[in-house]
C-alpha cells in the first residue's frame, strides 16, 4: 500500500525521475503491477531518467508455490503476460526516457526487445 501512496504523491506533483528501481511481477493479473507502472510513467516526467533497475520477473518476496502443482499452462500464461508487459513497458521507455545511461534488468533477447534496446544508443 505504501508503494501506491508514495507513487500517487509523486504523480500528483509531476515529479521528474532520475532513478527508477522497482521489483514487480509484471505478469501478475491480480495485482496489475504492469498497469500501475505504465500509469505511473504517464504521470511523472521521465525525460531525465538516467538509471533504471527493474526486476520484472517473479520476485523473491513472493512464494514460489503461487501456482498449484501441475498447472504448467497457467505458468506459461503468466510468463507470456510478463514478457508482453515487459515489451510494452520497454517501448514506453524508448519513447520517453532517452537519457537512460544504465539499465539492470532481466532481458528477453527477442528480436523486438533487441531492436528497442538499440533505440537507447
Cell of 52: 533504471
Q: How many domains, the chain? A: 1
- Specify the higher pLDDT residue, 121 or 40: 40
The string of pLDDT tens digits covering residues 20-29 is 998 888 888 8
Residue 74 belongs to domain spanning: 2-118
- Residue 74 predicted with pLDDT over 90: no
The band of 7, judged by pLDDT with boundaries at 50, 70 and 90, is very high
Element holding 118 (H helix, E strand): helix 111-118
Spatial contact of 65 and 73, defined as CB atoms under 8 Å apart: no
The string of pLDDT tens digits covering residues 94-115 is 999 999 999 999 988 899 989 9
Element holding 80 (H helix, E strand): helix 72-96
C-alpha distance from residue 50 to each of 11, 16, 53 (Å):
18, 11, 10
Nearest-10 crossing angle of helices 33-43, 2-12:
20
Amino acid at each position: 500500500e505504501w508503494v501506491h501512496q508514495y507513487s500517487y504523491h509523486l504523480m500528483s506533483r509531476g515529479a521528474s525521475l532520475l532513478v527508477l528501481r522497482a521489483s514487480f511481477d509484471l505478469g501478475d493479473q491480480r495485482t496489475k503491477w504492469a498497469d500501475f507502472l505504465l500509469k505511473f510513467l504517464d504521470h511523472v516526467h521521465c525525460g531525465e531518467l538516467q538509471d533504471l533497475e527493474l526486476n520484472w520477473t517473479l520476485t523473491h518476496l513472493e512464494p514460489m508455490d503461487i501456482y498449484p502443482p501441475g498447472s504448467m499452462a497457467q505458468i506459461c500464461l503468466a510468463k507470456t503476460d510478463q514478457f508482453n508487459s515487459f515489451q510494452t513497458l520497454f517501448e514506453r521507455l524508448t519513447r520517453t526516457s532517452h537519457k537512460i545511461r544504465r539499465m539492470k534488468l532481466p532481458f528477453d533477447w527477442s528480436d523486438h526487445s533487441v531492436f528497442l534496446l538499440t533505440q537507447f544508443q
